[in-house]
């Protein structure tokens, strides 16, 4: 079956005895125990497992091509469960412009707990190789990166990591499995903030870890999910399954609109530079073409001007909403550095735009007015 079909049909039959075409939401926190006692795989207590959670875990694992998934109450909770599966004294390599929340998670929480980390530019394999230490246990990939849209060669990093016995993870939140399949390129794990394109409507917070195989490392992540307790509600899991049914078609729209918006921005005199892997002049374009089916819905661009000018322009839009985050049906944009806080490496004149599913002509007309 193709992606679109799997997205629509997967997970519907799991724990759905009434054969409702769309499974009901199961808000119950407890499940009646069989007279013969609890058996492996029985539902027991919702923190440990719930029908709606199992349905969504099955769906997202299938779409990423993994064996299993563990879903969480947010993307950073999923990231924390991965990092906590490492041991104090272990070392990780992670992009210097990694999603800002994950940077703070590593620096302010995990480093205090004994995890060592190197934040580096991950566009060159030689740089990554130079930072490998005997205790390096995980290489964290985020491509395209946020918000600099740098491209990392996933297959290249996997090869390097494998020859050094190191695990790899790709944060696939921005491309989604519609545009990029890291497990197919050899990574061990995929991370998602399902708050973005999976949810797709800016109304659910969630995260997920998908694993290539159910190994000991993933079993530890599963334990962190159940005993760390940052689990999503049955309602949120149900909503996420519902949103995911249309993911392929929403991503097609995001991909297509974004190419049109990029064409407009390229010609605008106020735009000094565009960070988008779909343009030929992007330094990672060749690699992006190889490992991505589409370039996604995110654009960062540098304004010909300073921070004040960038903030002023973002304030002028009438349609594009001034807000952080991404992946909703509505277009949003922001002066990114203001959102990232201390330690940000984002240029002061960078605007980050999440291109939505409004008619592209309306998005472009609003940009034309705001950049005026
Ligand atoms: C938003 C985001 C996260 C964090 O997810 P939350 O759901 O906000 O906790 C992680 N990685 C990337 C790339 C993101 O955009």
User: Ligand 1: distance of its center to the CA of 58 in Å?
Assistant: 21
Cβ of 173 below 6 Å from ligand 1: yes
Using a 6 Å cutoff on CB, does residue 198 contact ligand 1? no
pLDDT at 117 over 80: yes
| Angle formed by the axes of helices 75-83 and 216-228, nearest 10° | 130
What lies within 8 Å, CB to CB, of 182 at 6+ separation is 64, 141, 154, 170, 172, 190
Query: For residue 265, which of 149, 363, 144 has the smallest C-alpha distance?
Result: 363
Average pLDDT over residues 59-77: 98
Instruction: Calculate mean pLDDT across residues 5-34.
Output: 97
> Is pLDDT at 341 greater than 90 in this prediction?
no
Could you give the percent of the chain with pLDDT greater than 70? 100
Mean pLDDT of 144-159: 96
Percentage of the chain exceeding pLDDT 90 = 96
Q: Report whether residue 324 contacts ligand 1, using a CB cutoff of 6 Å.
A: no
- How many A from CA of 236 to the centre of ligand 1? 16
Rounded Cα distance between 236 and 240, Å, is 6
Instruction: Note if the pTM is more than 0.95.
Output: yes
Residue 361, pLDDT > 90, answer yes
Q: Show the domains of the chain with their CATH numbers.
A: 3-244 (3.40.640.10), 248-371 (3.90.1150.10)
* Residue 353 pLDDT grade (very low, low, confident, very high; cuts 50, 70, 90): very high
Look at residue 206 and tell me whether its pLDDT is greater than 80.
yes
pLDDT over 80 (residue 168): yes
Give the per-residue pLDDT at 146: 87
- For 80-114, the pLDDT digits (tens) are 999 999 999 999 999 998 999 999 999 999 999 99
**Strand (E) or helix (H) holding 238:** helix 234-244
Residue whose Cα lies nearest atom 6 of ligand 1: it is 75
pLDDT of residue 343 exceeding 80: no
What average pLDDT is seen over the chain?
97
Check whether 283 has a pLDDT greater than 80. yes
* pLDDT surpassing 90 at residue 290: yes
Q: Whose CA is nearest to atom 9 of ligand 1?
A: 75
Q: Using most ligand atoms within 8 A of CB, pick from 60, 75, 98 the residue to mutate for ligand 1.
A: 75
Ligand 1 touching residue 74 (CB < 6 A): yes
Distance 74 CA to ligand 1 centre (A): 8
Q: Is 232 in the pocket of ligand 1 (CB under 6 A)?
A: no
Ligand 1 centroid, distance to 317 Cα (angstroms): 25
For residue 97 and ligand 1, the question of a CB distance below 6 A is answered with: no
pLDDT digits (tens, 9 = 90+) for 123-136: 999 999 999 999 99
Find out whether the beta carbon of 196 lies less than 6 Å from any atom of ligand 1. yes
The protein residue with its alpha carbon nearest to ligand 1, atom 1, reads 193
Spatial separation of the C-alpha atoms in residues 258 and 322, rounded to whole Å: 18
* Mean pLDDT, rounded, for 300-322: 96
Spacing, Cα 75 to ligand 1 middle (Å): 5
Rounded distance between C-alpha atoms, residue 299 and residue 271, angstroms:
12
75 pocket-lining for ligand 1 (C-beta < 6 Å) = yes
Instruction: Please report the beta strands in the chain, taking only residues with DSSP state E, as ranges in sequence order.
Output: 68-72, 91-95, 116-120, 136-142, 167-171, 189-193, 207-211, 271-275, 298-303, 321-322, 332-335, 350-354
How do residues 220-259 score in pLDDT, each as one tens digit? 999 999 999 999 999 999 999 999 999 999 999 999 999 9
363 C-alpha to center of ligand 1: Å? 24
- pLDDT surpassing 90 at residue 190: yes
Pocket test for ligand 1, best of 105, 191, 193 (most atoms within 8 A of CB): 193
Closest to 50 in 3D by CA, of 218, 240, 200: 240
What pLDDT score does 345 carry? 82
Task: Check whether 313 has a pLDDT greater than 80.
Answer: yes
User: Is the pLDDT at 342 greater than 90, yes or no?
Assistant: no
**What average pLDDT does range 256-275 have in this prediction?**
97
């Amino acid at each position: 079956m193709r992606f679109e079909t799997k997205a629509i049909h997967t997970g519907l039959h799991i724990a759905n005895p009434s054969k409702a075409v769309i499974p009901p939401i199961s808000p119950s926190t407890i499940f009646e125990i069989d007279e013969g006692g609890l058996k492996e795989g029985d539902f027991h207590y919702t923190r440990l497992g719930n029908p709606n959670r199992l349905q969504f875990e099955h769906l997202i694992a299938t779409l990423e091509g993994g064996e299993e998934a563990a879903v969480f109450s947010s993307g950073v909770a999923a990231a924390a469960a991965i990092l906590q599966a490492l041991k104090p004294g272990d070392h990780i390599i992670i992009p210097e412009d990694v999603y800002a929340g994950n940077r703070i998670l590593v620096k302010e929480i995990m480093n205090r707990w004994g995890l060592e980390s190197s934040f580096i530019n991950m566009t060159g394999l030689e740089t990554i190789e130079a930072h490998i230490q005997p205790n390096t246990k995980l290489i964290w990939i985020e491509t395209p990166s946020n918000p600099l849209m740098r491209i990392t060669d996933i297959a290249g990093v996997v090869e390097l990591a494998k020859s050094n016995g190191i695990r790899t993870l790709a944060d696939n939140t921005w491309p989604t499995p519609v545009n990029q399949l890291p497990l197919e390129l050899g990574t061990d794990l995929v991370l998602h903030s399902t708050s973005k394109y999976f949810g797709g409507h800016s109304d659910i917070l969630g995260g997920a870890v998908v694993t290539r195989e159910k190994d000991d490392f993933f079993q530890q992540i599963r334990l962190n999910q159940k005993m760390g307790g940052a689990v999503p509600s049955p309602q949120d899991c149900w909503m996420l399954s519902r949103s995911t049914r249309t993911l392929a078609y929403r991503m097609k729209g995001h991909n297509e609109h974004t190419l049109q918006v990029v064409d407009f921005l390229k010609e605008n005199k106020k735009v000094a530079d565009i960070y988008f892997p779909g343009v030929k002049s992007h330094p990672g374009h060749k690699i992006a073409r190889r490992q991505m089916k589409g370039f996604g819905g995110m654009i960062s661009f540098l304004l010909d001007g300073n921070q004040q000018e960038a903030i002023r322009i973002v304030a002028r839009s009438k349609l594009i909403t001034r807000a952080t985050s991404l992946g909703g049906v509505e277009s949003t944009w922001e002066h990114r550095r203001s959102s990232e806080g201390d330690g940000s490496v984002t240029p002061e004149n960078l605007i980050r735009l999440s291109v939505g599913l409004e008619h592209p002509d309306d998005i472009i007309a609003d940009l034309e007015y705001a950049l005026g």
